Amino acid sequence: MGRRIRYFLAGIFSFVVIYGCVWLLGFLLEKGFDSGFKGSDIIMVANTVSPNHGFIASTYVNSGGGGAGWCEKMVNLRKSEEPFDSKKRLVFSSDCQSDVEVIWKGDDTAMIKYSTDGMRADLFQRSLSDDKAVRVFYQTK
Amino acid sequence: MKRSVIYFAAGFLACLGSLVLLSRVGIIHNKLLDAMTGYESTTVKLVSDLPSPNLQYVATTNKVGNGTGWCEVRINVHKKDEVFDWEHDFVCITGCDTKLDLKWEDEKHLTVSYSAGDVAKGVHTYQQFRSKDSLVSIAYLLEP
């Protein structure tokens, strides 16, 4: 009877060990990828201020991850007194090769013109700023 | 010897069974088990088939997703009766909350109008401007 229980417990233990090893391996791999892609480089391309100087649209390049990483051209739209933060107030993103231009059509209206390669585009677009004070329109170049 | 193997296997399977059971009833979430048991299997649901004016082409909209919450809409433009692979053949990908409106302007021009389901969140789209055979031109229009 005691032996049977011991073999039974050994089976349970073996499963727990195997499962634990697989889980640990996955966890370590995930952490490794995370740290590899963590850092990003931000290069400012242009700052375009609204006519009344109330808002500012910053066009910048966000890249990272090395050869297999990412590269995007982004537009951040915020109040002029607010400091730039690449993780906030995003209204537009496209691939790096895209030519992006912000034109203010008024104090509360911005136009983002962007180019594509004519084959495809990967876009993120918002029609309003975070505080809903600025309307954003889009046009391809 | 044989009996010891049976008891060992019973213990192993009892533990595996408990884990599968707990995962299936939602008490624990286990990606590995989900993948093994097919819980993550993808479903494809036809949303619409829109034929071109001369009926030579069809713009097919599919909604794809799985039990983990992943959901996206894929549009494909293909010749009538042509079989296509939803996973690899597409001209547009966007989220399931994106509002879409497809319109054939003529036999060779399709317009995809789109807008964010939630204006505050914005909309993400992958766009291709030509069909796989390059004969159909596709325009994209973000609705305000």
Residues A47 and A21 in one domain: no
Q: Which of A52-66, A97-111, B9-23, B31-45 has the lowest mean pLDDT?
A: B31-45
Q: Would you call A17 an interface residue with chain B, using a CB distance cutoff of 8 Å?
A: no
Residues A33 and A45 in one domain: no
Residues B31 and B67 in one domain: no
Residues B20 and B82 in one domain: no
Residues B32 and B47 in one domain: no
Residues A32 and A4 in one domain: yes
Distance CA(B57)–CA(B88), nearest Å, equals 18
Q: Could B123 and A91 be called an inter-chain contact, meaning their C-beta atoms sit closer than 8 Å?
A: no
Range of the domain at B28: 2-37
Q: Is the dihedral of CA B101, B43, B129, B60 positive or negative?
A: negative
- Is pLDDT of B33 > 90? no
DSSP H helical ranges for B25-51: 31-37
Distance CA(B11)–CA(A2), nearest Å, equals 14
Residues B15 and B81 in one domain: no
The mean pLDDT of B115-139, rounded to a whole number, is: 94
Q: What is the pLDDT of residue A1?
A: 62
Please list every residue in chain A whose beta carbon sits closer than 8 Å to the beta carbon of residue B12. 11-12, 14-15
Q: Is the dihedral of CA A116, A118, A119, A125 positive or negative?
A: positive
Q: Would you call A27 an interface residue with chain B, using a CB distance cutoff of 8 Å?
A: no
Residue with tokens 């590269």: A71
Strand-pair partners of A76: A58, A90
Q: What is the pLDDT of residue A109?
A: 96
What are A50-95's pLDDT values in tens digits? 999 999 999 999 998 777 788 999 999 999 999 999 989 999 999 9
Which ipTM was obtained for this model? 0.74
Distance CA(A43)–CA(B144), nearest Å, equals 30
- Is pLDDT of B38 > 70? no
How many structural domains comprise chain B? 2
CB pairs under 8 A between A and B: 95
Interface test with A, best of B98, B142, B143 (most A CBs within 10 A): B142
Distance CA(A106)–CA(A19), nearest Å, equals 61
First to last CA, chain B: 74
